[in-house]
Chains A and B, each alone.
Chain A
C-alpha cells in the first residue's frame, strides 16, 4: 500500500510541475496568502501536537506542508483532513483547544478553494498514462479475439497487482520481470501450437494441433458438426409443407415456399422436392401413393392445430424411414485369394458401392407373391397380431426386433392413426419374427422373450396382383427411393467388411478399415438434395482440409504398407516387397508408390482374373496417389497464403497497419527461420507467430500521439498509414468466421450500426485538446481505437473500430459516441463487467474464494461458487447492454439466477432452461434485487462460520459509496471465528461494545450499521431467521446520521435519501480511473462533475457516463513530454 501510494505521489508531483508552475495568477497569490496567514497557523495550533514532527497519529505529519504547492501535490491526504474537519471529528473532543467555528470554516473553505483552483487550472489534463503491458485478463481476451479461440494462456500467471484506484489496468502496477517474460514466452508458444495451416491461410484450433490425433480431432469434428447442422428430418419438411399449404390460415397468405423453408431453417431446395412429391405426383400404387394418402388425411383431419400436425408429420417420417430401410441394397465383399477382406482397396470398393446406391432401391426387396404365408414353425399360443404398443416405427433399423408377433404387417394406417393400409396401394411390409419361448420362472408361461426373438427373414415388400403390374411398381419404388435416400450422409462407420454388424460406433468418418487410419466421404444425397451451392463448397473445402491438415492420404498409405506386409494374410510379403517400408520418409514418393502399385497388381493378377477386384486395386492406387500428390502440391502452393495471413495476423496483433519495413522485416524473419535455422514451413510460421505475440507492439499498449504532433512519431510511417486493404482483418478473419467470434463475421457491413458522418460533420471534428493546453496531443486514431476497446471490452479493437480508425473517422465525436454505444451492446462487454465490476466491487477473484466451511455449508460447492460470481456479471452485462439506470445497481428489484442459484435463493427453478441464466423480476419477494444482497458479496465478506457486519458494512461504505476509512490499528481484538461460540452476546452486541471504545468508534460508526442490516443473510448469503448460535437475527441499524432502518429495505431507503450522491460520485470516479488506466486527479474534477450532471439529465443511463468519458480531453489525448524533458524523451535534468 505504502509503496503504491508513493508511486502515485511521485506521479502527481510530475503532473503539477508540468502544468502548474508556469501559470501563476491573482487567484494563486490570494490562496497562498490565505495559507500563510490562516491555514498554517491553524495547523500549528490545533494539529501539530498529534500530527507533527514529534507524534504522527494515523501516520499523518502535517508539519511537512509548509507551502501551498505541497498541499496541492498531496491533495488526497488533505481530502481526509477536509472530511475530518467538516465532520467535526478533528480536533478530537478531548483536545485542549477547539478552534472557533469561523476559523474552522475558513480552513475548510481554503481547502475547497484550493481544490477548485487546481482543478480548473489543469482541467482536462490527460495525466500520466504510462505505456503498459496487457493485464492478464486483457491478454486472455485479446488472444481470444485475435485467434477466435478462447485459450486463456495466463491461467498460470501471477495475479496482476492493482493500482491505487483498485484496477489492474495501469502502467503504475503492471510491471514486467524476467520470470514473467518467460511465462509470456510459454504462453505465446501455447497459442502458436493451436495453429492449423489450411489450403488458404491459417486458423487456430480450440486445442493444440501438433500431434496427429489432435489434427484428426480438429478436422473430423468440423465435418461431423457440419453434417449435424443440416436439416435432414423429414418431419420438418412435412411440417413446413403443411404450413405452406395453410399459409393463409396461419396469417401468411403471401409466404413463398422459400420463405417458409427459411423460417423453419430447412433446405428450400428439398422442401420444393417434398412439396411437389406430396401435391403433384400422380401415383396410384406404391409408397408415394401411400404417403400422399397420409398427407391428404393429415391436412383434412387436423385443420390448423400445429401440435397435432407435428405428431402426424413424425408418423409420416417414421413410415418413410422404416420402409426405406427395407429397400436398401446390400453388397457383398469383394474377395481375392491371399488378400484380407479388410484390405484398403477392397473395403473402399465396398464403401463406394454403398455410397453410389443411396438413391437406388433394392430390386430384390420387392417380392412378388399373391398372399402372405406364415412359416411352418409356428409355436403354440402365439397371437397372430402383435401385442398392442410393442411396435413403434422408429428411425433405427435395429429396434425392429422388439416385436413379438410371428408375422407383422407394418401398417402406417392403423398404427399411426391413419385410416388406410399399405395394401390399398398394392404392397405390404411384412416381417417374420421367430421368438423363443421362455421358461424362466420369472416370466409368465408362454410369454415372449423379446431378447430371444430374431428376425427370421428379411423384411419383405409384397404386392398383390399380377406380374404385369411389376414394372409400374418398380418405377414407383424407384421414384420413392430417388426422393428419400437410405441415408443423407454417413458420419460413422464400423468395419464394413465384416458380414455382421459388430456395433463399432464412434468411428467418425472412418472408411471402416481394421487397424488402419482412413476416411471415406459418403454424403452425395446430402449434397444433391439438400445443400445449396455455397454449402456444398464449404463441405468440399472441409474434406480437402482433412487431407491437407492431417496428411491423411500419406498416413493411410503408410498404414496400407504396414498392413499388407505385417498383418495376416500378408499379401505383400516376400522379397519383391522389401523395398516398401512404412517408416521410410520416401514411402509416399511418386516412384515408390508406383513401384508398389506395379508389384502389388502383378501379384494380384497372378492369383486372380476377377475383373472387379483388379479394377478395385487399380482404382485404389490411382486415387491414393492422386490424394497424396494433391496434399504435397497443395501444401507447397499454400505457403504464400500462410505468409499473407501471417501479415494480417501481425497487424491485428499490433492493432494497427504494418509499415512497409515491418512487413519486409517479418517476411525476412520467416525466411531466416527457414534458411538459417533449418525449420520447415510450419515450424517457421509458428515461430513467427511466437515472435509476434512476444513483440512489445502486441504485449504493450503504448498510446502514441498522432503523427505530425510529434515529429518523432510516424518515422516508420505506420502511425498515419491507412491499412493495406479495406478490411484490416483481411483473409484471416474470413477464414476464421466459423469460430463464432461474436462480431468478426466479415459479412456485417461496416455501416450497419453507425451513422456515417457527412463531409461537413467530419470537418467539424471535436476540439480534443483543451484550450490553452500545449502539453497534450491527440492520440493517433489507432491508439484511440485501442483505448476504446480496452476500456469497454478489455480486448483488442474489432474490424469495424479499426476501419473507423483507418478512415480517420474516430476523431469525430458522433462517430466516437456511436461506436461506444455499439460496443456497449456487444457481448464482449462482459470483459468490462468482470474487469471493471469485478475489481470495483472486489469479486474478481471470487472463484478462488475458499473461506467457506464446506462441511457446515455443503450447499456451497464449486458450481454454486461459480454461480455466485456470475450473478453480478450477468447484472452488469444486462444493465449495460440494455442501457438501464445505474441506480438499479442499488435499487433494482430484479436479479439473475441459474437453477443452482435459484435454489440457493429459494426461488422457483425454471424447468424450461435448467442451465441458463434468467432474469427474475420482483426479486424483493426473495429479499434479493440489485447488487447489495448478492450472495457473492455476503459470502466474500464473511469469515467462514459467522457473518461479519464489519466487513459487509465496510464493503458497502468503501466499495459502493467510496468513503475513505483508515486501516484498523494492529491492536484490534479478534472476534470469535464461529457464531455458535460467541457466548451470551450476539455479534451485534459485541460490536456495540467495541464501539464504546472511542478510538474504535470513530471508524466503526461509519460502517457497522451497513453490515448489521444484512444479518438476515448467513455466511454464504443464505436467508436466515436465526444465527448459527440459535439466536434470532436482528437486522435493525442506526445509520451514521442517526436515522434508523432495518434490513435491505431500510438500507436502501437510507441510501436513497442520504447517500445516493456518494454512490454516483464514486461510480464516476471509479469508471474514469478504469477508463483512463490511471488514478483520478484533481484536474478531473470538472469532468466528474459533468458526468454527474450528464447522468441526471439522461435518466441515469449507463451510456451517459461512457459518452462523457470518451468525449473528454483526458480520454482523447496524451500528455506529451513534461517540462524538464527534452523532446527526444530524455530527461534534461536528473530526476529527483
Chain B
C-alpha cells in the first residue's frame, strides 16, 4: 500500500474514494514485470532461485484490404535479410522476424470479396451468408480457452475501428468484416475499442473489481440470514460464507503478492515498462489510438495479465483516414489502387505498428532474453492485392521466437506448394503446438505447416 501511495495522487485513506478510482490510480504501480526469482503469479514453476520457462504469449495484428504487393518482399536471412520499402520498419528487428508468403484460407476464396475473406481469417471456417452468422472459433480464442485460466484475463480482443454490421453485396454480414476473433461459430468476441476501458480491464476487470462488490453483498446477506436459522442450517450457511470468504481471500492474496513483488522490484531496477491510464473516449488521432493499444498489449504481456491478444488495427472495408500520410481517400478506396505510392505508405504504416509493438516487447528483459523472444506476434491481412481483392495468398509476418520454439530471421515462401501445404490453419496448428495446445485439427487443416 505504501509504495502505491507514492506513485499516485489519489487520497487513498478517504472513505469516499471508490476502489475503482483507487485501482485506476495505482495501475501504473501495479504494472509489474515478470520478475526473476519471485514466484509472483501465473503457474510457472521456480526452482532453486532460477526462473522457470517464461510464459509464451501470442498476439495477432490485423490490417484489412491487403498491402502494396510491389513493395512487400524480403530476401536473405538473419542479419543479412534485405527488406522491401513497406517492410522497412521491421529492419531493426529483422533477426527476430519471419516473413511468410503464400499461405491462404481455402474457404475465404471464391466466395466473393471482403467479408467472406475476413471473418474466418483466424478460424479457416466456411462462413454462412445472410442474416444468420455462422463461422468457427478463431485460433486466439482456442488458445484463450486452453490457457486463459492461468491469467487474469483469458484474452484481450482490441480494435482501433468500430465494427459495422450491415450487409455486403456478397450477402455476407458486415460483422464478418469487423471481427476476426470468434468465441464460437455464432458469436464474435466483443471488441474493446476504447483504450481507457482496455486499460481498466487489466487492473479492475469484472473478474476482480466487480466480483468483489458482489461478494461483499452476498456475504452480508448470508451472515444476516445465518442469524435467523437453527444451528444445523447455520452450519450449511457457514459453508457458503466460508466459500465466499475464501474466494475473496484468493483475490486479496493475488493483490498482496503483487504488492510484495512491487516492493522487491524497487531496488532491482529491471526494465519496468509503465504507462498511465489513457483518457476516456476515443483518441482523435488514429496514430495515438494504435500506439495506446500496442502499449496496453505490451503491458498486459509484461505483467502476465493475459497471454493472448488480438488487435484489429483496422477492419476490412475500413473507413479510416490517413492525412498524416498525405492520403486524402479513406483506407478502403485507397486499397483499390494498391500499387500506388499512397497505398505503399499505408502498408508501411501498418507494418510499423508491428514494429512498434515488437520493439516495445523487445525492450522488456525477461531472463536472458526479452519479452519478444517469448512471444509470437502474428501480423496478417486478408488480401494480397486490394485492387483485385486477391486472397489466393495473404501476407503474414511473424515476430518473436516464442520461447525458442520458432527459428527467426527467415523468409518462407509457400506460393509454389500445393494448396494442401499452404494452409493458414496449418500455421495455426503449428503455433498452437508451440503454445502447448495440441489439436488434431483446426479449421480446414489436419497437418502442421512444414518448415516453420
Contact = CB atoms under 8 A, between A and B. Distances in A.
B247 A182 contact: yes
Given A513-B167, A697-B221, A583 B162 contact: yes
Contacts of B213: 672-673, 677, 687, 691
Nearest to A672: B213
A865 interface: no
Given A185-B214, A213-B175, A691-B217, A555 B20 contact: no
A130 B332 contact: no
A181 interface: yes
B164 A677 contact: no
Given A185-B214, A211-B190, A677 B18 contact: yes
A694 B171 contact: no
Contacts of B317: 515, 567
B263 interface: no
Contacts of A281: none
Nearest to B167: A507
Contacts of A213: 133, 165, 173, 175, 187-188
A699 B243 CA distance: 13
Interface in A479-537: 492, 494-495, 502, 504-508, 510, 513-518
Contacts of B222: 696
Interface stretch (A358-366, A1045-1053, A1124-1132): A1124-1132
A220 B131 contact: yes
A765 to B, nearest CB: 24
Given A583-B161, A678-B18, A696 B237 contact: yes
A687 B210 contact: yes
Nearest to A214: B187
Contacts, number: 209
A250 interface: no
Contacts of A181: 240, 243-244, 246-247
B416 interface: no
Contact of A517 (B166, B231, B331): B166
Nearest to A507: B167
Contacts of B235: 130
A210 interface: yes
A676 B20 contact: yes
A355 interface: no
A423 B129 CA distance: 45
Interface stretch (A172-180, A919-927, A1022-1030): A172-180
A411 to B, nearest CB: 37
A498 B240 CA distance: 63
Contacts of A637: none
B450 interface: no
B20 A208 contact: no
Given A171-B236, A175-B239, A566 B333 contact: yes
A570 interface: yes
B223 to A, nearest CB: 9
Nearest to A506: B130
B164 A695 contact: no
B117 to A, nearest CB: 14
Interface string A195-219: 0000000000001101111101100
B229 A131 contact: yes
A266 interface: no
B20 A678 contact: yes
Interface string A1049-1069: 000000000000000000000
A570 B333 contact: yes
B232 A583 contact: no
Given A220-B131, A502-B169, A704 B228 contact: yes
Interface stretch (A33-41, A557-565, A628-636): A557-565
A271 B24 CA distance: 66
B319 A566 contact: yes
A93 interface: no
B20 A177 contact: no
Contacts of B330: 565-567, 570
Contacts of A1101: none
B47 interface: no
B209 to A, nearest CB: 7
Contacts of A518: 166
Contacts of A180: 243
Contacts of B210: 677, 687, 690
A582 B187 contact: no
A722 B432 CA distance: 59
A515 B164 contact: yes
Interface in A638-674: 669, 672-673
Nearest to A713: B228
Given A181-B247, A211-B187, A584 B282 contact: yes
A180 B229 CA distance: 23
B164 A555 contact: yes
A260 B163 CA distance: 51
A560 to B, nearest CB: 10
Contact of B167 (A514, A565, A669): A514
A507 B333 contact: no
Contacts of A713: 228
B247 A495 contact: no
A858 to B, nearest CB: 23
Interface in B317-353: 317-321, 328-333
B237 A128 contact: no
A128 B250 contact: no
Contact of A514 (B168, B233, B244, B321): B168
Given A508-B131, A676-B18, A559 B187 contact: no
B161 to A, nearest CB: 7
B281 interface: yes
A700 B240 contact: yes
A130 B214 contact: no
Contacts of B13: none
B230 interface: yes
B230 A1129 contact: yes
A177 B239 CA distance: 7
A504 B167 CA distance: 10
B152 to A, nearest CB: 14
B20 A566 contact: no
Nearest to A221: B131
A13 B219 CA distance: 32
Contacts of B131: 217, 220, 492, 506-508
Interface in B377-426: none
Contacts of B175: 212-213
A678 B23 CA distance: 13
A676 B24 CA distance: 13
Given A220-B131, A677-B20, A712-B228, A131 B243 contact: no
Q: Indicate the member of B164, B193, B237 with the most A CB atoms within 10 Å.
A: B164
Interface string A578-598: 000011110000000000000
A506 B250 CA distance: 49
A574 to B, nearest CB: 9
B319 A562 contact: yes
Contact of B240 (A210, A507, A558, A699): A699
Contacts of A133: 236, 240
A516 B319 CA distance: 12
Contacts of B173: 213
Nearest to B238: A176
A290 B303 CA distance: 81
A515 B166 contact: yes
A952 interface: no
Given A566-B332, A696-B237, A1129-B234, 5 more contacts: A181-B240, A567-B317, A691-B214, A702-B229, A702-B237
Q: Return the 3 tightest CB-CB contacts between A and B, nearest first.
A: A506-B130, A566-B330, A566-B319
7 contacts: A181-B244, A504-B171, A506-B132, A508-B130, A515-B164, A695-B218, A1129-B227
